Amino acid sequence: MRNFTEQSITEAALERFGTDCDPRLREVMTSFIRHLHDFVRETRITPDEWLKGIQFLTECGEFCDDKRQEFILLSDTLGVSMLVDAIENPGGPGITESTVLGPFFRENPPIVANGGDLAPGIAGKRVDIDCRVSSEDGAPIAGAQIDCWQSSPDGFYDSQMGDGEAHNLRGRLKSEKDGRFWFNTTLPASYPIPDDGPVGNLMRAMGRHCMRPGHLHFWVQAPGHRQVITPLFVRGDKYLESDVVFGVKDTLIVDFGTQQGPRQRVRYDFRLKKAA
Ligand SMILES: [Fe+2]
């Protein structure tokens, strides 16, 4: 085939798959090519605009290193990460809802004993976190592994402080026999996603802010159950309605108290679906 037109080039591109192409790859790429061609036709993209798009993606790649992942930020801010998560984790009655992992999770966090401090040496209002892990039928889960991580009261993660190497404001806990795990920490603050790169520039060009409401991340894993990755959000935060990554769900908003108020105990029960 040759002499392609604005219309016929799409079918031509779709006919180029070889017979040994993985079926799932064929399915995904067929849809991707169709939508991409329709997007170009619908918006009447000019060569200059297409080149600008390619330069934007190139810049995203150049911003990535072992601490910064610009493509995750792009996916998050366009709502795609939450869409993928919604398909993978549809939840169900009584099951703790999930949201995005975000870019600040780190491997091998410090081990924190129950009752320990997640934010040693960090000034600010303290809160007591008191949680329980249970199965969908309500049975407590002992020995669940829980990773927690959060921003400081100034809105920074440990990887954004000092040389970025020291671990703080994060830890790994285990649930006790009754499913409980507990620790104390500081009140997490709202913060901007890293906005000094191409994604931040895109948000500003779109007239959007880059803020996330204050939250504390949890990754709960237990044998025989589906894992839950989710944050708890600070009730009253002014960015709850406009989280830049679309991660807020009503069931995940809890009372952390205020910066000025008395020390607060945060209670939350994580309910995990049994693995199929
Ligand atoms: Fe976060």
The per-residue pLDDT for range 36-59, each reduced to its tens digit, is: 999 999 999 999 999 999 999 999
Reply yes or no on whether the pLDDT at 8 is more than 80: yes
Reply yes or no on whether the pLDDT at 67 is more than 90: no
Distance 216 CA to ligand 1 centre (A): 7
Reply yes or no on whether the pLDDT at 258 is more than 80: no
Distance 33 CA to ligand 1 centre (A): 33
Q: In whole numbers, what is the pLDDT of the chain averaged over residues?
A: 94
Distance 156 CA to ligand 1 centre (A): 9
Distance 55 CA to ligand 1 centre (A): 28
Question: Is pLDDT larger for residue 241 or for residue 68?
Answer: 241
> Whole-angstrom Cα distance, residue 224 to residue 201?
43
pLDDT of residue 254: 95
Reply yes or no on whether the pLDDT at 262 is more than 80: no
Distance 102 CA to ligand 1 centre (A): 6
pLDDT of residue 76: 94
Distance 26 CA to ligand 1 centre (A): 35
- Kindly report the pTM of this predicted structure: 0.89
Distance 58 CA to ligand 1 centre (A): 26
Distance 229 CA to ligand 1 centre (A): 12
pLDDT of residue 102: 84
Distance 151 CA to ligand 1 centre (A): 7
pLDDT of residue 2: 82
Distance 188 CA to ligand 1 centre (A): 9
Distance 105 CA to ligand 1 centre (A): 8
Question: Is pLDDT larger for residue 92 or for residue 197?
Answer: 197
